[in-house]
Structure 1
Amino acid sequence: MIGSMPILLPVLEPDAKEGDGKEDDSGDDGQRLANRCFVIGPDGGIIARYDKIHLFDVSLGAGESYRESRTYQGGAQAVLADIGPAKLGLSICYDLRFPYLYRALAQAGADILSIPAAFTETTGRAHWHVLLRARAIETGCFVMAPAQSGHHADGRDTFGHSLLVDPWGEVLVDAGRDRGVSLFTIDLDAVAAARARIPALGHDRPLTI
């Protein structure tokens, strides 16, 4: 707990694999881990939990590839947590690349979007800042994005740069590459102000392709 606000705790927990119609090439016994985020309230109770929906199965070139689905089971439920003065939309890492998730959370009432992540050095340098700013601008939400940084035992390098972005897309906090804690105060009135200036969340139109 930090003050009277909940904290976010990304964890990995065993979770039974659900049938998804895809071939299982992992060679395991059908078990998967869930990449899970908890929201813990001031009393220590669990307010909400979210299982990462989008799994990081990519080949970045130069021998750098990841197959998250070999180990993890993707979630299927978007989660909006009521944290008192605000509503918090939950997501994890690779979810960041799927804007429809954040639009749905914002249209359901999210004021703040949480995106804890471990972007690689390659993807972080190219995409981290611009994607986070885009999600804030598109939704008119504050975006909180704590990020891993440094060299890992499995050979990965992660980008770091934990960010706080306001609903107009301005970066309020950039924690850089060093380990540390960032404390900040946000003005939730900025959410309504940004959405009043550009009310795009209410301008969806049906289309065909």
Structure 2
Amino acid sequence: MKSYLAAAVQMTSGPNLQENLSQAEELIDLAVRQGAELVGLPENFPFLGAETDKLAQAETIAAESEKFLKTMAQRFQITLLGGGFPVPVGNGKVYNTALLVGANGDELARYEKVHLFDVNVPDGNTYRESETVLAGMWMPPIYPSKDLGNLGLSVCYDVRFPELYRHLSQMGAEVLFIPAAFTAYTGKDHWQVLLQARAIENTCYVIAPAQTGRHYATRQSHGHALIIDPWGMVLADAGDQPGVAIAAIEPSRLEQVRRQMPSLQHRVFI
């Protein structure tokens, strides 16, 4: 693993696929021009609109998203994460899929979100992700990269389930991806502290791309795409506007924290 720059992209996606992909391309370009070699896009990066519209367009969204990710990774010679997009599975449902693509355009890892957001938020909004999304059946994968470290995948609501990240750290994860479209109401209280907890307890870097602002109707996201170091320090914060959070991933820092706080070696219940 070498020292390198990573970027967590922050978007305000909406119901127009091509507009979203154009926005994503501009922000990837911005990140690369600042030196990023590993770039993450947020959950729902190609589409954030009504669930009925998502299902109606799911095949197109899935095909265009995969093509886009592979094209962008090759064009910019980066490793690129598409943090969540619908992939049809039949029976009128989709997988919420995160896809990691290498600089040659090859698929490196794929994860289908296992924890679905079925919540009555205190601000009056109700979310029922399971009505249109089929839960994944497998724990997220680790992609071992000689240059970028061992990369672990997850998506949004997963962040509230620490056992998933303990699994990833047990598998050797050094960098955790947590792309999200966190609601504005829950995000203000829970987003940063949950990300810091996942970084601290697993002594891993966290790269958390995010959605921000109003998408459609009452759907609004918290923003604040973050990169956090293994000690829990926030290295970069994209604020509440579309943009990028960029920070260095340093193997020496990872080694230092794990030496000073060897909690992963002290686990009793495994």
TM-score (norm 2): 0.68
1:12 aligns with 2:75: no
Asked if 1:46 corresponds to 2:93, the answer is no
Asked whether the 8 Å contact 1:32–1:71 carries over to 2, the reply is yes
Higher RCO, 1 vs 2 (CA within 8 Å, ≥6 residues apart): 2
151, 155, 161: which is aligned to 2:224? 161
The 3-state SS of whatever aligns with 1:91 is coil
Q: In the alignment, which residue of structure 1 is the partner of 2:125?
A: 64
Q: Specify which of 122, 126, 142 is matched with residue 80 of structure 1.
A: 142
| Larger deviation, residues 6-15 vs 131-140 | 6-15
Q: Kindly provide the CA deviation profile for residues 27-54 of structure 1, in whole angstroms up to 9, marking residues without a partner as x.
A: xxx3311111111101011111111110
Amino acid of the structure 2 residue aligned with 1:137? I
Following superposition of structure 1 onto structure 2, how do residues 114-133 of structure 1 map, counting pairs within 5 Å? 114-133=177-196
- Is 1:173 aligned to residue 236 of structure 2? yes
How many Å separate the matches in 2 of 1:203 and 1:180?
39
Deviation string for 1:126-177 (max 9, x for gaps)? Answer: 1001000000000000000000001011421100000000000000001100
Deviations, residues 56-81 of structure 1 (Å, cap 9, x unaligned): 01112342111111110111222111
| 1: CA distance, partners of 2:168 / 2:205 | 12
Aligned to 1:94: 157
Q: CA deviation at 1:111?
A: 0.6
CA distance in 2, matches of 1:206, 1:63: 39
Distance 2:207 2:121 in 1: 26
Higher share of residues assigned helix: 2
1:5 CA drift (Å): 4.0
Distance 1:147 1:195 in 2: 27
After TM superposition, give the deviation of residue 190 of structure 1 in Å. Answer: 1.6
C-alpha contact (below 8 Å) 2:180/2:210 kept by paired residues: yes
Unaligned runs of 5+ in 1: 17-29
Name the residue aligned to 2:22: none
- Alpha-carbon RMSD: 1.6
Please list, as runs of the form range in 1=range in 2, the aligned pairs for 1:135-150 lying within 5 A after superposition. 135-150=198-213
Partner AA of 1:136 in structure 2:
A
Q: Secondary structure at the match of 1:148?
A: strand
- Which one-letter code corresponds to 1:64 in the other structure? N
> Retained in 2: the 8 A contact 1:54–1:74?
yes
Code of the aligned partner of 1:49 = R
Q: Which is further off, 110-119 or 79-88?
A: 79-88
Shift of 1:201: 1.4
Indicate how the Cα distance of structure 1 residues 62 and 149 shifts in structure 2: closer, same or farther if over 3 A, else same: closer
Normalised by the length of structure 1, the TM-score is: 0.87
1:25 alignment partner in structure 2: none
2:146 is aligned with what amino acid? G
Give the counterpart letter for 1:165 in structure 2: I
Work out whether residues 5 and 83 of structure 1, in 8 Å CA contact, stay in contact via their aligned partners in 2: no
Q: Secondary structure at the match of 2:224?
A: coil
Contact 2:118 2:130 in 1 (8 A): yes
